[in-house]
C-alpha cells in the first residue's frame, strides 16, 4: 500500500483509508462484532492506516468497535473521528448541531475513552454549526492540539469561505466531503482552496454508497434501516437513469482487464479518484473481506491520460439524476 500526505501536513496515511460507519449503522443489518473486528484488523494487515469513525455513528458504538479492534495496533494507525451533533438527553436521537467549545471538549474526552487512546490523530467538525463562529471552533481544537489530545484539525462538508476562516486560526489538515464520479461539486470551488492552503482531501462515499460497484439496478430495494431508502438518488427511477454511469465504468474496466487480471467498476471509480490529485485519500467502507481486497487493489491501477480523457468524455454525456440527500439534510451542508 502506497502512502500519501494529506496536503502539506506531516500526516501521512495509506492512499486508501477505511470508512467505518457501515460497520454499525446506515446500510441495513450490521455485521457481527467479531466479524467487524476481524475485518478492521485485516485491513491493517493489508496496509490500511487511516480509519474514519465518529461519535454519531451508532451513535457511539462505532467508536467503541474501532477502539477495541485497533487498540492492539494503535501506533500503526491513524484514527479520525468527529464532533458536532447534539443528542437528546437519555436517547440516541440527533436533535441538532452543537459545536460550542464546551461541547467539543466533552465529545473529545468521550471519544478518547471509546477509542482507547490518549490522542485523536485527526478531529473533524462533522458539520458546520451556523450558531457557533468557525473561529471559536478552530480555536478550541487548537487548544486540544496544544494539550496533546488531538494532533490534527479537520472539517467536513465545509464551504470555501469557512475553510479559509478556520485555517486562519488553526491549520486545517484535511477536509472530508462527498466526492466521486457521480458527485463532483468540490472540484469547482473547494479544490483550488485546498491546493492553495495545502489541505488534504478525504472523500467519503467514493463508491457512491455502493452504486458505483455496478451491483444495483432499478429493482434494488433497501431496508427501512438503510439510509439509502430515503435518498432521492436511490429511487427506482434514479437508479435506472444513472445506469449510464455504470456503463462508463464497465467499459473502462473491460478495457483494463487482461487474461486473469480483471478490473471492476469499483476499482476504476477509486483509481479515477486517486488520479485527480496526489493529496486525495478516499475512504471506502465495506463489511466484507473480498470487497476490502477489491477496493485496495484499485491502488495498483494507474489510469493513463488517455484513459482519464476517455472517461471524462463519456461522463460528459451522462446527467446524474437525484439529489444526494433529502432536502432537510442538504440544508445542513455549508456552502
Give pLDDT, residue 114.
98
Partners of 180 in beta bridges: 183
Confirm if 122 and 151 have CB atoms less than 8 A apart.
Answer: yes
1: Cβ–Cβ under 8 A, 6 or more apart, which residues? 14, 15, 16, 46, 47, 48, 49, 296, 299
**Type and span of the H or E element at 44:** helix 33-45
Assign 3-state DSSP to the chain and report helix, strand, coil percentages, each to 5: 45, 15, 40
Helices (H) and strands (E) in the chain, counts: 12, 11
Q: Give the span between the Cα atoms of 2 and 278, in whole angstroms.
A: 11
Give pLDDT, residue 224.
92
Q: Give the span between the Cα atoms of 51 and 74, in whole angstroms.
A: 11
3-330, CATH topology level:
TIM Barrel (3.20.20)
Confirm if 174 and 78 have CB atoms less than 8 A apart.
Answer: no
Give pLDDT, residue 186.
98
Neighbour count for residue 2 (Cβ, 10 Å): 10
Give pLDDT, residue 260.
74
54: Cβ–Cβ under 8 A, 6 or more apart, which residues? 21, 62, 63, 81, 82, 124, 126
Confirm if 286 and 6 have CB atoms less than 8 A apart.
Answer: no
pLDDT digits (tens, 9 = 90+) for 275-321: 999 999 999 999 999 999 999 999 999 999 999 999 999 999 999 99
Give pLDDT, residue 261.
83
Give pLDDT, residue 290.
97
* Number of residues in the chain: 335
Q: Give the span between the Cα atoms of 252 and 270, in whole angstroms.
A: 12
Give pLDDT, residue 183.
96
Q: Cell match 473547494: residue?
A: 190
Confirm if 323 and 330 have CB atoms less than 8 A apart.
Answer: yes
57 assigned to active site: yes
Among 57, 124, 179, 325, the one annotated catalytic: 57
User: What is the domain partition of the chain in residue ranges?
Assistant: 3-330
Give pLDDT, residue 61.
95
Low-confidence ranges of the chain (pLDDT < 50): none
Give pLDDT, residue 254.
95
Residue 134 vs residues 99, 159, 184, 203, 332: alpha-carbon distances, Å: 9, 11, 25, 21, 15
Amino acid at each position: 500500500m502506497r502512502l500519501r500526505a494529506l496536503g502539506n501536513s506531516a500526516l501521512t496515511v495509506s492512499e486508501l483509508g477505511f470508512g467505518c460507519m457501515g460497520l454499525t449503522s446506515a446500510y441495513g443489518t450490521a455485521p457481527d462484532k467479531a466479524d467487524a473486528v476481524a475485518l478492521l484488523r485485516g485491513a491493517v494487515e493489508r496496509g490500511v492506516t487511516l480509519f474514519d469513525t465518529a461519535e454519531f455513528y451508532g451513535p457511539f458504538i462505532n467508536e467503541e468497535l474501532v477502539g477495541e479492534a485497533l487498540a492492539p495496533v494503535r501506533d500503526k494507525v491513524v484514527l479520525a473521528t468527529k464532533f458536532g451533533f447534539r443528542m437528546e438527553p437519555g436517547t440516541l436521537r440527533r436533535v441538532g448541531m452543537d459545536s460550542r467549545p464546551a461541547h467539543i471538549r466533552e465529545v473529545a474526552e468521550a471519544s478518547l475513552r471509546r477509542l482507547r487512546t490518549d490522542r485523536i490523530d485527526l478531529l473533524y467538525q462533522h458539520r458546520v454549526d451556523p450558531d457557533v463562529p468557525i473561529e471559536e471552533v478552530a480555536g478550541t481544537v487548537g487548544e486540544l492540539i496544544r494539550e496533546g489530545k488531538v494532533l490534527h484539525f479537520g472539517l467536513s462538508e465545509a464551504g470555501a469561505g469557512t475553510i479559509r476562516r478556520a485555517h486562519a486560526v488553526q491549520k486545517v489538515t484535511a477536509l472530508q466531503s462527498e466526492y466521486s464520479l457521480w458527485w463532483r461539486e468540490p472540484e469547482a470551488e473547494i479544490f483550488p482552496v485546498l491546493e492553495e492552503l495545502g489541505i488534504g482531501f478525504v472523500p467519503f462515499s467514493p463508491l457512491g454508497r455502493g452504486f458505483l460497484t455496478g451491483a444495483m439496478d432499478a429493482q434494488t430495494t433497501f431496508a427501512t434501516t438503510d439510509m439509502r431508502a430515503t435518498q432521492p438518488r436511490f429511487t427506482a427511477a434514479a437508479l435506472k437513469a444513472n445506469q449510464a454511469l455504470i456503463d462508463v465504468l464497465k467499459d473502462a474496466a473491460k478495457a483494463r482487464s487482461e487474461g486473469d487480471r480483471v478490473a471492476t467498476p469499483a476499482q476504476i471509480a477509486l483509481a479515477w479518484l486517486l488520479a485527480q490529485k496526489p493529496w486525495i485519500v478516499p475512504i471506502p467502507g465495506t463489511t466484507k473481506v473480498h470487497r476490502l481486497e477489491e477496493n485496495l487493489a484499485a491502488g495498483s491501477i494507474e489510469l493513463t491520460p488517455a484513459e482519464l480523457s476517455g472517461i471524462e468524455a463519456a461522463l460528459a454525456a451522462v446527467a446524474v439524476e437525484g439529489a444526494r440527500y433529502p432536502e432537510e439534510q442538504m440544508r445542513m451542508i455549508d456552502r
